Amino acid sequence: MSQCMVGWSHTKFGKLESETLESLIVRTSAEAIAHAGLEPKDIDQIFIGTMNAGMDPQGFPSSLALQTHPDLRFKPSTCVENACATGSAAIHQGINAIAAKRARFVLVVGVEKMTAISSAEVGNCLLKASYVREEGGLPGGFVGVFGRIAEQYFQRYGDQSEALAHIAAKNHKNGSHNPLAHVQKDLGLDFCRGGESNPKVAGPLRRTDCSMVSDGAAAVVLSDTETAFYMPQVVKFRAAIQVNDFLPLSKRDIIAFEGPAVAWKKALDAAHVKLDDLDFVETHDCFTIAELIEYEAMGLVPPGQGALAILEGWTEMGGRLPVNPSGGLKAKGHPIGATGVSMHVLSAMQLTGTAGGIQVPNARLAGLFNMGGAAVANFVSILEPLR
């Protein structure tokens, strides 16, 4: 591939009461363009990734990026949505525009404002990422979807509560070192195992097994390799793969995560690397059970043995393959449209040695997996520094 990230920006994730959808878009747009060493007039196309689904009254946000600077006026800007993989879908649109030579520099912003409505209303919005005809009545909404996945996994492979607690504890420990994270606190393994203050919320899933409702935004500027070569910081896509699966849970073996497995295989093949070549992975831990099954989908362990990777410490910082050094969605937060772009930004920071307290030493090759719905829209990127 010949597409690169040449600039990026990232807000803190959390309950950002002073921010609006517009202010988040404008701030990250300005910061990403400046980080790339460009002027707003240099941007050729814009893609805004947001799921929204009723979380914000502004349902048509694509031109809000033009508020960043008068020189963005009349630039083509398009809104992209693909459930929880919205951010990666927006990046793919930017990659495609560059590959088609329709643009030299593309601005991509992933954004979500979720906390201005009630938790129940957020739950109703998120449930739209499921097959509503069959799954809309599940207790607990979208949490209930993954509660059912966890139940089925436990039925097939045994109780994995200890492994899920270790995943939650790992990600919160990592997130405690990430100044951009929603939750910057090491909760500890004992707390994540359960108790009165950490009850079950859906099936075997506890509160600490579920990602946060968050506000936030992240942005990247994309370009082609030839243009990017002499720019200050450049991270290249070795692969960028999208694989979609059936939407209804009833049409597939949901705990097999076949779509993610296909996406990982295609990405590793396209990049001409093996999983063991990667220095770290940022993966879509919307729920801890998702991260557990994703260990299997990426090929780290065989099906049913996801617990081995976490209980043996393979995915810890300093382990065989650190997973979610950022704290993941679990600690960092999950503003839906921002998540995929956030994964790319944080991976770019790792690969340019600018990740601060969450830095993986000497990171040169990154993998990331962003998932829309329950293993429905699956995106894998393999990234490396250009030089």
Return the active site residues.
Answer: 84, 334
DSSP 35: H
CA-CA distance, 14 to 18, in Å (whole number)? Answer: 11
CB 220 within 8 A of CB 7: yes
Three-state SS annotation for 10-28: ECCCECCCCCCHHHHHHHH
Nearest to 345 by CA among 362, 321, 370: 370
Residues 6+ apart with CB under 8 A from 253: none
User: What DSSP letter does each residue of 35-82 carry, written as one string?
Assistant: HTT--GGG--EEEEE---TTSSS----GGGGGGG-GGGTT--EEEE-B
Looking at residue 159, its amino acid is D
Task: Reduce the DSSP state of residue 6 to 3 states and report it.
Answer: strand
Structure-block tokens of residue 275: 């999983």
Place of tokens 């000497």: 362
Q: At what angle do helices 258-271 and 288-297 cross, to 10 degrees?
A: 50
CA distances from 386 to 304, 308, 365 (A): 37, 34, 11
